[in-house]
């Protein structure tokens, strides 16, 4: 330990640390999260640079958390942990969610203060009404909108022209796009040629191709999704139902949703986009496709029009008789917000003002355009939430090609008719359940009405939980805390008194005193880091507590939710853990034992082989997950395993390579295969056990004429059984708590963990609830569920052990 | 239709028989080779012969039977192979069926009625399991069984590979069954073959990692399988007239950049292209302060008017075309021509793309100083964790093993029971504690707990302290050593190997800690390597060259420690007493 070599290494390491210690800076830090900074984001960089130039005493630090995606868990953890960033670029529809939890700062005061004197200060009247509303919650502004995107109809004029006769025969005009839902369906049907060999050669129109979802059609039909007071989810309305029926009809008339999805998955982006290749005649999409269209399909004859609306709306009939708006679209986008607890609010506000101002937007787009031109690429600006900025950008960067200019103009002109997703704190749940309802209906697993009702129930449960909160009594957490600390102190005092009154010799007493001092690191650690937290977590499991707001006592509700409201996730996570443990533990044991038996032979090079087999086990977990993500890549041209698969199994058996982490059926197998690679750690245990088996046993066996199989099962296996037992217990506990690898290997995004939640483990469920939403109470209930299951499993294993585990002392 | 079904059924059966008999033949062969003593050679020869003949005959027949196979014309003899694609419920159900049948037959053949009842009872439970799987199979509407007829075209390399892996696998099984120490030439060869095959399988991902980190992007994907030999593009220096590159001084460092604008006052606006960390910054400079430097342009080859040429790409056009200045042959030198991308081939030589490593580092945020800050954080974490664990665990273990005090045994029982406690239970409240201490976004929550002794290490060290003879300690006490002094100078040196094992394991644990940084650390300057690698994967996941280079760099220190302290890693298990005895 204290050999000179070690000391030298330590000295080197420490001196290296001193050299690279960060230099002191006198600037004020401004931490900005969520702007993507990459090779092609010249525009955002220019804004930051210009701001730094104007504010030389501010040091802007942009942190993009993985490809510019904001990681909601990191944001929430940092807000709760009092180390929040100063500015955050956030998807607007989630603003109300954050604001309702008290995680963001209202900006009204800042706006009011600067309104009169600062020309950069955002003014509400500059912004489209819907866009501004989306970034507000309960009449307070929580974000300043930046980009805005709405959806319009794109169509391929060439396909329309080629099918002009057929269209005319059906009474349709080939020179203009469809305007109403029924026209859209008719055009779509005619422009979809019959299948060839069961495959599409082209598709006229797919309702949810592009970026549409049920939301847009429902908005067009005046569906609201939420009651005006925000108390109830109203997904199941005739309006939404009609919209969903339209989507289902759209898919059914071309051969079904599954067929359409297959067709979609056959294409990629950029030059291999199905619309650019002329394989899709019409789609409804946002303005973000314009740049790719102009780069990869400059000669494509595109036409645009407003997204078609229900017939009654277009002709101002029926329930739309009194509505002036003929067309309706859906608008979304981003905004800048200041999280609660930001340390540099003043500079944050300055930055937001600058970045959202028309001037800031111009700087961004100018720089981006310069960059694109330098690389010989065209540039079309994106839409903004501010009318003034939108017009200025259109004027300055109007595309030279009239068809793209027309498309951009169409987008801008429709902005005032954009509707937003409901402003509610359950926005995320509403979104994912509306998608689920749409898919269920499209697959005909339920009627549109049934699907909507099912989705509505899930959302309503979240709403009820929030509003019922008020019923539960507030508890002051200081009371249990001080009660706990008090009890601990009293208990310690009692122990001390008992100790002092105990009759002991002087030496004995001094030895005991020293012993107590010596074990104090553990005692303290146990009280503060183990016992205290355990009791706290038990206490939390009966409360509703998100750290930012006061705690409420809910009794057994969290545990009821485990087996009730959240049953799907809980059973899924437990099922996955059992699946993983059930496959991984025996397989790793077997592979480890096989290698150990081989290595236990007396041949040359054992040290070398032992090192080789053990090496994977010491590779850092993150590094090996990153490596295996590539080894397991589904594309047989890239992934090591699938390349091998393609050349053997596909060749021999005709089974195509699996999708591994991208497929719900294979993602767990991917983890199992990866575990096999690390079987070396078990191998070492086996080896140690094998070396410990007395050779006299084998000699006795060979004298008795035992064959190899008998020898293995009667001597080797029983002698090794304690190791098997130890490994089985530890392996099970480990699999229950699988986290790191899943976090790294799951396809990115904060939706399901792995396809169809197939990689959701119990620990992951706890992490998501605990650190993404800070549902401390519910997460603690999950923790205790995990604890309980591990206890039961371990206990059972210990009970079963005497039946097969052989301990030498038994005799 | 019926005929073809019958033919198909016969073919299926025969193909499986062929493979089974083939496997049996190899098995018998190995037995004969390995069991030089006490094996009935004549019996072995008979079974080898029968298995070999059966296998060969079945293969021959099945190869001739016209089955609707995945016929892809390939040279060589087709050894047919029929396979079922079934959901796991069907596989397990089939296994249960076979087991039930096996037990029933055993029961019918049993001599005593007691044995018969026992066997039949077991078969009953297999039947129950079978019913359960059938129910599961029926319950899932997605279940279906697919029959796939394929075959292996027995070309020479495939035969060799199959033989190699079959022998390795069989050897592993035979040796597993024997575990005695028979010597023999054949055995050595077979064991070595098995070990080599295993090493290849275990080493392939490593090889993939290292080789990928040296590959160019174009080699990342290939329809002919993985590219194992990295190649790099040949380049030549070239002074670009149209888009010259200049070397300039900006904020105290030498940068490369291009001129994007000439200002009215005669200065020029420079767009920085290198170093990558400040790529995209612009600044104004005097033209006289600039120095033109050559670009490294790629060399390509191709054919123009039937003449093979080599040339350098002097311009990448906006539409993907390239302008090429010829360098070979002599007759074309000095001329230029525009080619479509498909018309020219890059000229490349076998080599390593080292720049993946430097590029990976240059993409890290500038405040991390090319990743050195990550390394620093990891080192702090590792050093502090190791120091903390060693001192706290050893002193606690010493007290528990060598000192007497009231409540020792109950306290030790509590300590042992905390080993079973999953980290999940204490995770959230611990976060709140560290939050209260304002330790979020710092490294403290990650190493401070190490100073509070972990149960497992205490348990392990206690075993060691118990093994040290009492006399040593008594002698120290008689010499008047205090308890602390006895612990420090007499006892601690005695358990150095155990401390080394703990140090090595703690090192690994701290180096690999991922969930901790994920929860507690936000700013790049506080991140350790493990978390930085995950973020890097999120940012640059599409560029395997850079990603693998960074992963390799994160791995190297651990592997280095492993090679120097291998003894403690591997023998530590034996020392710890986990080896069973």
Tally of structural domains, chain A:
2
CB A675 within 8 A of CB A584: yes
CB pairs under 8 A between A and B: 406
Candidates A66, A511, A523; nearest CB to B539: A66
Average pLDDT over residues B512-520: 89
Record: contact A784-B458, CB cut-off 8 A: no
* B83 assigned to some structural domain: yes
Q: Tell me, yes or no, whether A517 and A648 share the same domain.
A: no
**Distance, in angstroms, between A81 CA and closest chain B CA?**
5
Residues B392 and B505 in one domain: yes
Query: Within a 10 A sphere around the Cβ of B173, how many other Cβ atoms?
Result: 17
Do A523 and A628 sit in the same domain of this protein?
no
CB nearest A702 (choices: B180, B392, B428): B180
- Are A595 and A486 members of one domain? no
Q: Is residue B36 part of a domain?
A: yes
pLDDT for the residue A68: 43
Mutate to test the interface with B, among A379, A519, A551, A787 (most CBs of B within 10 A): A519
Answer whether residue A778 is part of any domain.
yes
Residues A647 and A709 in one domain: yes
Q: What mean pLDDT do residues B113-133 have?
A: 89
Whether residues B225 and A647 touch (CB distance < 8 A) is answered with: yes
Q: Report if residue A25 sits inside a domain.
A: no
Confidence label for A808 from pLDDT (cuts 50, 70 and 90)? low
In a mutational test of the B interface, the residue from A83, A500, A635, A687 whose CB has the highest number of chain B CBs within 10 Å is A83
A67 min Cα distance to partner chain B (Å):
4
Question: Is A635 within the bounds of a domain?
Answer: yes
pLDDT of residue A305: 93
> Are B342 and B251 in the same domain?
yes
Lowest mean pLDDT among A304-313, B159-168, B524-533: B159-168
**Least Cα separation, residue A520 to chain B (angstroms):** 8
Domain around A536: 474-540
Residue A164 Cα, gap to closest chain B Cα (Å): 33
Percentage of chain A modeled with pLDDT above 70: 92
- Predicted local distance difference test score (pLDDT) of residue B395: 93
Mean pLDDT of A723-736: 77
Q: Give the residue from B207, B236, B233, B209 showing the smallest Cα distance to B353.
A: B233
Question: B184 and B130 share a domain?
Answer: yes
- Domain membership flag for residue B581: no
Decide if pLDDT at A330 tops 90.
yes
Q: Determine the angle formed by the axes of helices B544-564 and B355-362, rounding to 10 degrees.
A: 100
Chain B partners of A806 at a C-beta cutoff of 8 Å?
A: none
Closest-CA distance, B447 to chain A, in angstroms, reads 13
Establish if A713 belongs to a structural domain.
yes
Q: In this predicted structure, what is the pLDDT of residue B75? A: 57
Asked if A686 and A606 sit in the same domain, the reply is yes
Residues of chain B with C-beta less than 8 angstroms from the C-beta of A78 = 440-441, 522
Nearest CA in chain A to B383: A10
**How does residue B580 score in pLDDT terms, banded at 50, 70 and 90?**
very low
- Confidence at residue B186, expressed as pLDDT on a 0 to 100 scale: 66
Q: Does A615 reside within a domain?
A: yes
Using an 8 Å CB-CB cutoff, list chain A residues near B487. Answer: 518
The H or E element containing residue B298 is strand B295-304
Distance from CA of B503 to the nearest CA of A (A): 9
Report, as an integer, the average pLDDT of A414-433.
Answer: 87
The answer to whether position A795 is within a domain reads yes
Domain boundary among A540, A573, A597: A540
- What angle, rounded to 10 degrees, do the helices at A238-252 and A427-442 form? 40
**What's the whole-number mean pLDDT along residues A253-258?**
85
pLDDT of residue A810: 42
Yes or no: say if B557 and B367 are a contact pair by the CB < 8 Å rule. Answer: no
Which residue on chain A is closest to B502 by alpha carbon?
A1
For A456-486, the pLDDT digits (tens) are: 888 888 888 788 877 888 888 888 888 989 9
Q: Measure the CA–CA gap between B319 and B339, rounded to whole angstroms.
A: 11
Mind telling me how many Å the CA of A506 is from chain B's nearest CA?
13
> Is the pLDDT at B71 greater than 50, yes or no?
no
A89 φ, ψ (degrees, to nearest 5): -95, 115
Q: Which long-range contacts (CB under 8 A, 24 or more apart) does A264-269 make?
A: A264/A206, A264/A209
Label each residue of B535-567 as H, E or C. Answer: HHHHHHCCCHHHHHHHHHHHHHHHHHHHHHCHH
Helices H, strands E: what count in chain B? 19, 15
Across the interface, of B221, B279, B512, the residue whose CB is closest to A637 is B221
- B519 and B374, same domain (yes or no): yes
**Strand, helix or coil at A556?**
coil
Q: B559: which chain A residues are within 8 Å (Cβ-Cβ)?
A: 615, 618-619
Interface contact flag, B522 A77, Cβ < 8 Å: yes
Q: Is residue A736 located within the same domain as residue A683?
A: yes
Check whether B306 has a pLDDT greater than 90: no
Q: Write the CB contacts of B510 (distance below 8 Å, at least 6 apart in sequence).
A: B378, B381, B382, B385, B386, B446, B447, B450
* Residue B17 is assigned to a structural domain of this protein: yes
A40 versus B548: the higher-pLDDT residue is: B548
B150 interaction partners in chain A (CB closer than 8 Å): 651-654
Query: Which residues of chain A lie closer than 8 angstroms to B180, CB-CB?
Result: 698, 702, 708, 711
Of the candidates B376, B438, B449, the beta carbon closest to that of A20 is on B376
Which chain B residue shows the shortest CA-CA distance from A632?
A: B205
B322 contacts B300 by C-beta, under 8 angstroms: yes
* Same-domain pairing of A527 and A604: no
Q: How far apart are CA B81 and CA B19, in angstroms?
A: 8
CB contact under 8 A, B396 and A20: no
User: Can you tell me the distance from the alpha carbon of A533 to that of B418, in angstroms, rounded to the nearest whole number?
Assistant: 13
Q: Do A594 and A509 lie in a common domain?
A: no
Lowest mean pLDDT among B11-25, B384-398, B507-521, B562-576: B562-576
Interface pTM (ipTM) of the complex?
A: 0.82
- State the total domains in chain B: 3
The answer to whether residue A611 sits within a structural domain is yes
Least confident of A709-713, B112-116, B310-314, B378-382: A709-713
A646-683: string of b/e by CB count within 10 Å (b at 16+)? beebbbbbbbebbbbbbbeebbbbbbbbbbbbbbbbbb
Put simply, the answer to whether B405 touches A516 (Cβ < 8 Å) is yes
Q: Which of A22, A370, A690 sits opposite B525 (nearest CB)?
A: A22
Contact B438 A722 (CB under 8 A): no
Domain boundary among B350, B375, B397: B350
pLDDT surpasses 70 at A569: yes
Coil vs helix vs strand at A147: strand
Contacts of A767 in chain B (CB under 8 A): 515
Chain B hits for A541, CB-CB cut-off 8 Å, are none
A637 with A505, same domain: the answer is no
Residues of A in contact with B176 (CB under 8 A): 593-594, 597, 712
Q: Which of A99-113, A451-465, B311-325 has the highest mean pLDDT?
A: A99-113
**C-beta atoms of A619 and B566 within 8 A:** no
Examine the pLDDT at B289 and tell me if it is beyond 50.
yes
Comparing CB atoms, the residue among A512, A621, A712 nearest residue B406 is A512
User: What are the pLDDT digits (tens) for B89-98?
Assistant: 888 888 899 9
pLDDT digits (tens, 9 = 90+) for A283-305: 999 998 998 888 888 888 999 99
**Residue from the list B72, B405, B531 with its beta carbon closest to the beta carbon of A515:** B405
Residue B301, number of CB atoms within 10 A of its CB: 17
Domain boundary (A540, A572, A594) is at A540
Interval B376-400 mean pLDDT: 93
Residues B435, B510 within the same domain: yes
Across residues A653-668, what is the average pLDDT?
78
Residues B507 and B543 both lie in one domain = yes
Q: Which pLDDT does position B430 carry in this prediction?
A: 92
Q: What are the residues facing A88 on neighbouring strands?
A: A33, A337
What is the structure's pLDDT at B2?
A: 57
Res. B173: pLDDT tops 80:
no
Asked if A525 and B226 come within 8 Å (Cβ–Cβ), the reply is no
Measure the CA–CA gap between A534 and A131, rounded to whole angstroms: 46
Q: What is the pLDDT of residue A44?
A: 85
Q: Phi/psi of residue B228, each to 5°?
A: -100, -15
Binned at pLDDT 50, 70 and 90, residue A306 comes out as: very high
- Mutation test of the interface with chain B: which of A52, A535, A708, choosing the one with the most B Cβ atoms within 10 A? A708
| Residue that is last in its domain, among A540, A570, A589 | A540
Per-residue pLDDT tens over the stretch B465-479: 888 888 888 888 888
| Distance to chain A for B112, nearest Cα, Å | 23
By C-alpha distance, which of B315, B308, B348 is closest to B329?
Answer: B308
By Cβ distance, the residue of A81, A644, A723 closest to B580 is: A723
Q: Verify that A607 and A671 share a domain, yes or no.
A: yes
Chain B residues touching A621 at Cβ < 8 A = 512, 514, 530
CA–CA gap between residue B87 and residue B143 (Å, rounded): 6
Q: What is the mean pLDDT of residues B74-81?
A: 65
Specify the pLDDT at position A801. 74
With bands split at pLDDT 50, 70 and 90, how would you rate the model's confidence at A12?
A: low
**A69 located within any domain:** no
Residue B555 covered by a domain: yes
Instruction: Give DSSP secondary structure letters for A510-523.
Output: HHHHHHHHHHHHHH
Angle (nearest 5°) at CA A513 between A510 and A515: 110
Confidence of residue B393 (pLDDT cuts 50, 70, 90): very high
- Choosing from B325, B350, B375, the residue where a domain stops is B350
User: Which residue has better confidence, A440 or A328?
Assistant: A328
Indicate whether A645 and A685 sit together in one domain: yes
User: Do A532 and A588 lie in a common domain?
Assistant: no
Confidence of residue B58 (pLDDT cuts 50, 70, 90): confident
User: A522 and B452 in contact by Cβ < 8 A?
Assistant: yes
CA of B534 vs chain A CAs: smallest distance (Å):
7
- Assess if residue B208 is contained within a domain: no
Among the partner-chain residues A515, A615, A627, the one whose CB lies closest to the CB of B399 is A515
Residues in chain B closer than 8 A to A602 (CB atoms): 181
Q: CA B549 to CA A654: how far, in whole Å?
A: 35
| In the predicted structure, residue A623 carries a pLDDT above the cut 80 | yes
Mutation target among B71, B218, B540, B579 for the A interface, most CBs of A within 10 A: B579
Q: Are residues B448 and B516 in the same domain?
A: yes
Minimal C-alpha gap between B460 and chain A (Å) = 15
| B344 and B374 inside one domain | no
Q: Check CB contact under 8 Å for B379 and A42.
A: no
Find the range with the poorest average confidence among A253-267, A349-363, A527-541, B345-359.
Answer: A253-267
Q: Evaluate whether B195 touches A598 at the Cβ level (below 8 Å).
A: yes
Set of chain A residues whose Cβ sits within 8 Å of the Cβ of B580:
688-689, 692, 719-720, 722-723, 726
Give the structural domain span for B272: 231-350
Higher pLDDT, B371 or A376: B371
d(Cα A101, Cα A104) in Å, to the nearest integer? 8
Instruction: Give yes or no: residues B419 and B372 share one domain.
Output: yes
Res B180: pLDDT: 46
Same domain, B406 and B533: yes
Question: What average pLDDT is seen over chain A?
Answer: 85
Distance from C-alpha of A70 to C-alpha of A749, rounded to nearest angstrom = 10
């Amino acid at each position: 330990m204290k050999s000179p070599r070690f000391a030298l290494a330590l000295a080197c390491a420490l001196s290296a640390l001193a050299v690279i210690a960060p230099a002191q800076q006198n600037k004020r830090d401004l931490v900005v999260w969520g702007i993507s900074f990459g090779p092609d984001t010249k525009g955002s960089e220019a804004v930051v640079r210009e701001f730094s130039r104007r504010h030389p005493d501010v040091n802007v630090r942009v942190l993009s958390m993985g490809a510019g995606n904001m990681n909601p868990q990191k944001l929430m953890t940092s807000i709760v942990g009092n180390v929040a960033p100063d500015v955050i670029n956030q998807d607007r529809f989630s603003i109300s969610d954050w604001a309702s939890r008290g995680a963001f700062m209202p900006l009204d005061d800042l706006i009011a203060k600067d309104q009169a004197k600062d020309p950069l200060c955002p003014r509400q009247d500059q912004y489209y009404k819907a866009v501004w509303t989306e970034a507000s919650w309960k009449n307070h502004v929580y974000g300043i909108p930046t980009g805005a995107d709405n959806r319009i109809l794109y169509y391929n004029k060439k396909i329309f022209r080629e099918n002009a006769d057929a269209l005319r025969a059906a009474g349709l005009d080939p020179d203009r796009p469809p305007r109403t839902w029924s026209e859209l369906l008719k055009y779509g049907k005619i422009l979809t040629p019959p299948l060839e060999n069961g495959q599409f050669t082209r598709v006229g129109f797919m309702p949810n191709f592009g970026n549409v979802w049920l939301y847009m059609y429902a908005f067009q039909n005046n569906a609201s999704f939420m009651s005006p007071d925000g108390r109830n989810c109203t997904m199941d309305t005739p309006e939404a139902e009609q919209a969903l029926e339209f989507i289902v009809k759209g898919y059914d008339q071309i051969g079904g949703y599954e067929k359409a999805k297959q067709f979609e998955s056959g294409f990629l982006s950029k030059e291999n986009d199905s619309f650019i290749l002329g394989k899709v005649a019409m789609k409804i999409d946002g303005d973000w496709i314009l740049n790719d269209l102009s780069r990869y399909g400059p000669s494509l004859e595109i036409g645009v029009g407003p997204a078609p609306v229900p017939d009654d709306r277009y002709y101002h009939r029926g329930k739309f008789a009194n509505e002036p708006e003929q067309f309706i679209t859906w608008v979304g986008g981003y905004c800048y917000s200041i999280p609660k607890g930001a340390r540099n609010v003043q500079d944050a506000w300055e930055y937001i003002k600058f970045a959202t101002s028309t001037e800031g937007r111009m700087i961004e787009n100018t720089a981006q355009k310069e960059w694109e031109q330098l690389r010989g690429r065209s540039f079309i600006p994106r839409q903004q939430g501010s009318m003034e900025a939108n017009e200025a950008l259109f004027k300055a960067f109007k595309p030279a090609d009239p068809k793209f200019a027309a498309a951009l103009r169409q987008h801008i002109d429709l902005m005032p008719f954009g509707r937003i997703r409901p402003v509610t704190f359950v926005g995320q749940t509403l979104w994912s359940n509306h998608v689920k309802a749409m898919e269920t209906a499209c697959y005909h697993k339920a009627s549109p009405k049934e699907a909507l009702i099912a989705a509505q129930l899930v959302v309503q449960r979240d709403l009820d939980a929030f509003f019922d909160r008020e019923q539960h009594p507030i508890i002051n957490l200081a009371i249990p805390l001080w009660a706990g600390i008090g009890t601990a102190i009293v208990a310690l005092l009692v122990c001390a008194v008992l100790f002092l009154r105990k009759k002991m010799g002087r030496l004995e007493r001094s030895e005991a005193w020293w012993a107590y001092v010596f074990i104090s690191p553990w005692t303290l650690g146990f009280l503060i880091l183990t016992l205290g937290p355990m009791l706290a977590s038990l206490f939390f499991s009966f409360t509703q507590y998100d750290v930012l707001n006061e705690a409420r006592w809910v009794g057994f509700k969290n545990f009821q939710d485990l087996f009730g409201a959240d049953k799907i996730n809980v059973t899924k996570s437990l099922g996955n853990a059992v699946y993983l443990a059930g496959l991984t533990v025996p397989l790793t044991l077997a592979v480890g034992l096989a290698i150990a038996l081989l290595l236990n032979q007396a041949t040359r090079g054992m040290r070398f082989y032992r090192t080789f087999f053990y090496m994977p086990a010491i590779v850092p977990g993150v590094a090996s997950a990153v490596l295996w993500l590539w080894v397991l890549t589904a594309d047989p041209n890239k992934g090591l395993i699938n390349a091998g698969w393609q050349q053997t199994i596909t060749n021999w058996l005709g089974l195509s390579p699996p999708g591994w982490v991208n497929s719900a059926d294979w993602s767990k197998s991917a983890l199992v295969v990866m575990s096999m690679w690390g079987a070396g750690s078990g191998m070492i245990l086996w080896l140690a056990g094998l070396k410990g088996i007395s050779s006299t046993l084998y000699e006795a066996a060979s004298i008795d004429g035992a064959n190899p199989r008998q020898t293995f099962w009667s001597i080797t296996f029983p002698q090794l059984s304690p190791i098997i037992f130890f490994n089985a217990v530890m392996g099970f506990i480990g699999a229950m708590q699988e986290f790191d690898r899943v976090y790294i290997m799951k396809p990115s995004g904060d939706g399901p963990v792995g396809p169809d939640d197939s990689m959701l483990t119990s620990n992951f469920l706890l992490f998501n609830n605990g650190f993404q939403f800070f549902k401390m109470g519910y997460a603690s209930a999950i923790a205790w569920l995990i604890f309980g299951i591990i206890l039961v499993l371990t206990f059972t294993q210990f009970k079963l052990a005497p039946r097969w585990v052989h301990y030498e002392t038994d005799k | 239709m019926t005929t073809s079904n019958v033919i198909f059924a016969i073919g299926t059966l025969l193909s499986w028989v062929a493979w089974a008999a083939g496997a049996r033949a190899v098995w018998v062969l190995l037995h004969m080779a390995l069991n030089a003593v006490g094996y009935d050679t004549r019996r072995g020869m008979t079974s080898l012969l029968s298995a070999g003949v059966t296998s060969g005959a079945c293969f021959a027949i099945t190869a001739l039977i016209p089955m609707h196979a995945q016929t892809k014309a390939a040279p060589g003899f087709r050894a047919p192979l029929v396979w079922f694609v079934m959901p796991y419920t069907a596989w397990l159900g089939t296994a249960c069926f076979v087991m039930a049948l096996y037990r029933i037959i055993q029961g019918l053949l049993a001599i005593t009625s007691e044995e018969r009842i026992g066997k039949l009872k077991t078969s009953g439970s297999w039947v129950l399991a079978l019913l359960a799987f059938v129910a599961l199979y029926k319950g899932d509407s997605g279940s279906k069984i697919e029959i796939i007829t394929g075959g292996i075209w027995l070309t020479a390399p495939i035969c060799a590979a199959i033989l190699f892996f079959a022998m390795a696998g069989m050897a592993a099984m035979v040796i597993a069954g024997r575990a005695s120490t028979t010597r023999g030439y054949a055995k050595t060869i077979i064991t070595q073959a098995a070990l080599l095959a295993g090493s290849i399988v275990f080493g392939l991902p490593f090889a993939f990692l290292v080789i990928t980190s040296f590959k160019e992007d174009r080699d990342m994907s290939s329809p002919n399988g993985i590219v194992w030999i990295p190649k790099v593009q040949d380049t030549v220096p070239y002074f670009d007239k149209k888009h010259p590159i200049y070397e300039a001084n900006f904020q105290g460092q030498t940068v490369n950049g291009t001129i994007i604008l000439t200002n009215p006052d005669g200065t020029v606006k420079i767009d920085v292209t290198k170093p990558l960390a400040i790529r995209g910054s612009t600044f104004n400079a005097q033209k006289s302060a600039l120095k033109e430097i050559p670009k490294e342009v790629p060399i390509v080859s191709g054919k123009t008017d039937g003449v093979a040429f080599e040339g350098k790409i002097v311009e990448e056009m906006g539409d993907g075309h390239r302008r090429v200045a010829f360098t070979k042959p002599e007759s074309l030198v000095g001329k230029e021509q525009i080619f479509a991308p498909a018309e020219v081939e890059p000229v490349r030589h076998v080599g390593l793309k080292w720049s993946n490593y430097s590029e990976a580092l240059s993409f890290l945020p500038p405040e991390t100083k090319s990743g050195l800050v990550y390394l620093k954080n990891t080192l702090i974490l590792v050093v502090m964790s190791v120091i903390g664990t060693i001192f706290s665990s050893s002193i606690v273990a010493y007290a528990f093993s060598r000192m007497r005090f009231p409540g020792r045994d109950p306290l030790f029982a509590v300590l042992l029971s905390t080993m079973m406690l999953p980290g999940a239970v204490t995770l959230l409240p611990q976060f709140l504690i560290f939050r209260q201490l304002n330790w979020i976004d710092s490294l403290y929550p990650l190493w401070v707990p190490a100073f509070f002794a972990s149960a497992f290490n205490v348990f392990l060290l206690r075993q060691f302290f118990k093994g040290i003879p009492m006399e040593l300690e008594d002698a120290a006490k008689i010499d008047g050593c205090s308890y602390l002094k006895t612990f420090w100078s007499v006892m601690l040196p005695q358990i150095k190997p155990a401390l080394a094992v703990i140090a090595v394991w703690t090192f690994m644990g701290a180096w690999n800690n991922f969930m901790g940084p994920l929860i507690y650390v936000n700013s790049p300057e506080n991140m350790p390597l493990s978390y930085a690698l995950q973020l890097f994967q999120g940012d640059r996941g599409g560029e395997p060259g850079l990603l693998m280079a960074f992963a390799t760099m994160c791995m190297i220190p651990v592997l280095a420690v492993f090679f120097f302290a291998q003894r403690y890693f591997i023998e530590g298990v034996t020392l710890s007493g986990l080896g069973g005895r």
